[in-house]
A and B are shown apart, each in its own frame.
Chain A
Amino acid sequence: MPTKTRDNDPTVLILTSLASGPKHGYGLLLDIEEFAGVRLGPGTLYGAIGRLEERGLIEPLSADGRARPYRLTAEGSTALEKTLAELRTIVEEGTARLQVQFS
């Protein structure tokens, strides 16, 4: 099955952020900016949150004030592991090829 994940895919960034614990929208934006250097737009963020929730990869918690935090589900954790393994393969292969090319 073809996967369409990219290293800057908002869904991967959100899952990675939630891997360290539940966060609400603003917390996610700050965390993603800190670890990935990517500033997601608010519409992009909630579009991705909606898709991840639809697929059961994240779930909402009770509202914290006016904001609602989200956390990773077991399915989301498995999906993130799978995606990171795919990315790792690409990184290792790319690194190895570059070393051969320039050594």
Chain B
Amino acid sequence: MRLLYAYPPAWRARYGSELAVLLEELDGGRRARLDVVRAGLVERLRPLGLGSLSPHARAREGSLLVLYAWTLFVLGGFGIQKASEHWQETTPGGDRAVPAGAFDGLVVIAAIGTALVLLGVALVLPRLRAAIRRDGWEGLVRPLGPAAWLSLLTAAATGGLAAWAHTLAPAARNGHDAFYDGAFVAWVLLFAVTLFSWSAAAASIARRLELSNTLLRIESLVAAAVVASMALMTAATFIWWSSAHGYGFAANVNVIVPVAAMICATILGLIGALRAARAVTLISGGLTS
């Protein structure tokens, strides 16, 4: 039924068939069709915070914003990892204590942050199992399709790029071959799109799950802890960056871009965590909107 395309895909997957049955039973006229289109547009605006989002939905969207922020942060983290490969070689032994401490701290907090994100995912797994039992696999698996295809493409591109890199001299691999540099940038973009496609798939599935108020409260706390880990990692990166020789604050694009991504991700995560925290305080079981 074409009218249902007014709604976002996740909403259609959950309620589309029921609404289609109702429209058949009503044999609705123009007024009913207009009502469906209006309601569909409202549903499309809700994730942007422009529709009437309930505290429950705001809490969920806030936590999902933290997930997207984490994805951006991971990309920045990969950039820092790549840019920091040779910092010990350029920093005299006596000056390594501060950057080494900051870098080790960064690695430890990254592990904690990753564990927190996995905890957030693990907490909703029972609800996912319940949704699969209720609605079947089909609707839930569909959002994973684009992410799976992009992952295959990224794996193939990674293999191709690695094979090419083996044929090049170290200098060519490090900025002296424009074609290889271009291919590397394209690979980074593809990798970023793939990572975000997995986050989008996870968010799409999460929006279809029935999450209790208690679970949303726990998820908002986990989201806040994830953002705290991002802030700490950003601080650790700054300390390492300012104290490792050869990586000083002077224009070093290989560090500036990842750090900028980490800062943006932390701010985005903070917005999400605050939205989730404010929303869970409003959830009281009443009919407040």
Contact = CB atoms under 8 A, between A and B. Distances in A.
Interface stretch (B25-33, B245-253, B261-269): B25-33
Contacts of A15: 287
Contacts of A20: none
B22 A42 contact: yes
Contacts of B210: 53, 56, 59
A1 B284 contact: yes
Interface in A1-56: 1-5, 9, 11-12, 15, 24-26, 29, 41-47, 49-51, 53-56
Interface of A: 1-5, 9, 11-12, 15, 24-26, 29, 41-47, 49-51, 53-57, 59-60, 62, 66-68, 75, 78-80, 82-83
Interface in B35-81: 35-40, 42-43, 52, 54-57, 60
23 contacts: A1-B284, A1-B288, A11-B287, A25-B19, A41-B35, A41-B36, A41-B39, A42-B23, A43-B19, A43-B38, A46-B15, A54-B54, A54-B57, A56-B56, A56-B212, A56-B213, A57-B287, A59-B210, A68-B18, A75-B285, A82-B285, A82-B286, A83-B287
A45 B22 contact: yes
Contact of A41 (B17, B31, B213): B31
B289 A4 contact: yes
A66 B21 CA distance: 7
A66 B18 CA distance: 7
Nearest to A53: B210
Contact of A25 (B22, B39, B42, B212): B22
Contacts of B42: 47
B36 A42 contact: yes
Nearest to A54: B56
Contacts of B39: 41, 43-44, 46-47
B28 A42 contact: yes
Contact of B26 (A42, A66, A68): A42
B124 interface: no
A15 B287 CA distance: 10
A73 B75 CA distance: 42
A43 B38 CA distance: 7
A42 B35 contact: yes
A80 B56 CA distance: 17
Nearest to B36: A43
- Please list the 3 inter-chain residue pairs (A to B) with the smallest Cβ-Cβ separation, ordered nearest first: A43-B39, A41-B35, A43-B36
Interface string B179-219: 00000000000000000000000000000001011000000
B19 A42 contact: yes
Nearest to B16: A46
B266 to A, nearest CB: 28
